[in-house]
């Protein structure tokens, strides 16, 4: 799908800046940090500088917006793959304001703002600001503890068109049931993305975890997107492409077990329960 993005659920990616600070277990193997280091940029940590961009970079979404208007097709923009839009630092205040202006100027684009700092979002927005309808607001939840902590903040926001979760890297079973029905504000989780971790130090994902999320979403009629198995895949599904990889057994709390093998995300694919899950929320704009 990606026009100029390699992330399958978006058309474009836009980064208002690069750099961040790790905040939870999902950040342990942050690919953005690794990628920036590979390019010789030390941008991660509270005292390191952030990398900012030229006007030419900021003009790109204006072009995407013109193209979307011309083609009469809405396009999704993932923001940000190399930062967290709601990181709390004085030097990011102006850049974030510039981003909000850009979102207002690009009504043919749907902006996916994904953050692990959902508890800080309200505080970081200008006074009285409400997200426009071309914002989809999301938070990462990698386990039950982060789900319990972050989702309640996400569901405080009524103005984005979509409230979504990225359950990637999925590090434990998560029960989302109570968040898939509307709360007293009329808000619920409108879309769930799940996936396992990729890269050499990846933590194995029990295949039962994304399968349970898919079932919870199906029951609640909430769209579900399975992005990838990641580095580890269920042996029963990938036995024909396994070569030297030694399977490991995951022993569950209930005593049952499953074997997964480190075969890399390319070979592991993204088939869950016999099919691809590419569901997206419907929006009316």
Q: How many residues bind ligand SF4 (CB under 6 A)?
A: 10
Choosing from 84, 110, 168, 197, the residue that interacts with ligand SF4 (CB under 6 A) is 84
- Of the chain, the end-to-end C-alpha distance in Å amounts to 22
* C-beta closer to ligand SF4: residue 174 or 222: 174
Q: How far is the CB of 245 from ligand SF4 (least distance, A)?
A: 26
Residue 141 to residue 178: CA distance in whole angstroms = 15
Choosing from 8, 22, 173, 237, the residue that interacts with ligand SF4 (CB under 6 A) is 22
Asked if 227 touches ligand SF4 (CB under 6 A), the answer is no
Q: Restricting to residues 104-163, name those near ligand SF4 by CB under 6 A.
A: 116
Would you say 70 and 48 are in contact if contact means Cβ atoms under 8 Å apart? no
What separation in angstroms does the CA of 178 have from each of 4, 55, 117, 155, 211?
Answer: 36, 44, 21, 12, 17
Q: How far is the CB of 116 from ligand SF4 (least distance, A)?
A: 4
Choosing from 11, 14, 20, 121, the residue that interacts with ligand SF4 (CB under 6 A) is 20
Q: What is the sign of the dihedral through the CA atoms of 47, 97, 120 and 149?
A: negative
Asked if 50 touches ligand SF4 (CB under 6 A), the answer is no
Asked if 32 touches ligand SF4 (CB under 6 A), the answer is yes
Residue 222 to residue 227: CA distance in whole angstroms = 16
Q: What share of the chain is helix, strand, coil (3-state, %, to 5)?
A: 30, 20, 50
Asked if 30 touches ligand SF4 (CB under 6 A), the answer is yes
- Piece of 15-23, 185-193, 232-240, 255-263 that binds ligand SF4 (CB under 6 A): 15-23
Asked if 23 touches ligand SF4 (CB under 6 A), the answer is yes
* C-beta closer to ligand SF4: residue 35 or 129: 35
* DSSP-assigned letter for residue 19: B
Q: How far is the CB of 78 from ligand SF4 (least distance, A)?
A: 12
At how many degrees (to 10) do helices 93-105 and 55-71 cross? 20
């Amino acid at each position: 799908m990606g026009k100029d993005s390699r992330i399958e659920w978006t058309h474009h990616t836009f980064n208002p800046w690069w750099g961040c600070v790790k905040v939870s277990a999902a950040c342990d193997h942050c690919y953005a940090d690794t990628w920036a280091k590979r390019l010789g940029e030390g941008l991660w940590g509270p005292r390191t500088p952030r990398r900012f961009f030229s006007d030419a970079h900021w003009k790109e979404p204006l072009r995407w917006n013109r193209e979307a208007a011309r083609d009469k097709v809405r396009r999704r923009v993932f923001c940000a793959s190399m930062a967290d839009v709601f990181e709390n630092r004085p030097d990011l205040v102006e850049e974030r304001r510039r981003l909000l202006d850009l979102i207002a100027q690009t009504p043919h684009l749907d902006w996916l703002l994904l953050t692990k700092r959902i508890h800080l979002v309200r505080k970081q927005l200008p006074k009285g600001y409400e997200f426009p309808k071309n914002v989809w607001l999301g938070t990462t939840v990698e386990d039950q503890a982060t789900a319990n902590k972050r989702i309640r903040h996400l569901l405080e926001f009524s103005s984005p068109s979509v409230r979504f979760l990225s359950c990637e890297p999925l590090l434990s079973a998560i029960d989302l049931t109570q968040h898939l029905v509307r709360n007293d504000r009329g808000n619920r989780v409108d879309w769930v993305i799940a996936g396992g971790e990729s890269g050499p130090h990846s933590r194995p994902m029990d295949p039962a975890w994304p399968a349970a999320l898919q079932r919870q979403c199906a029951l609640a009629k909430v769209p579900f997107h399975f992005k990838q198995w990641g580095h580890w895949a269920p042996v029963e599904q990938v036995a024909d492409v396994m070569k030297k990889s030694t399977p490991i057994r995951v022993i569950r709390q209930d005593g049952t077990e499953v074997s997964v093998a480190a075969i890399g995300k390319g070979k592991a694919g993204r088939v869950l329960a016999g099919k691809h899950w590419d569901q997206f929320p419907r929006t009316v704009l």
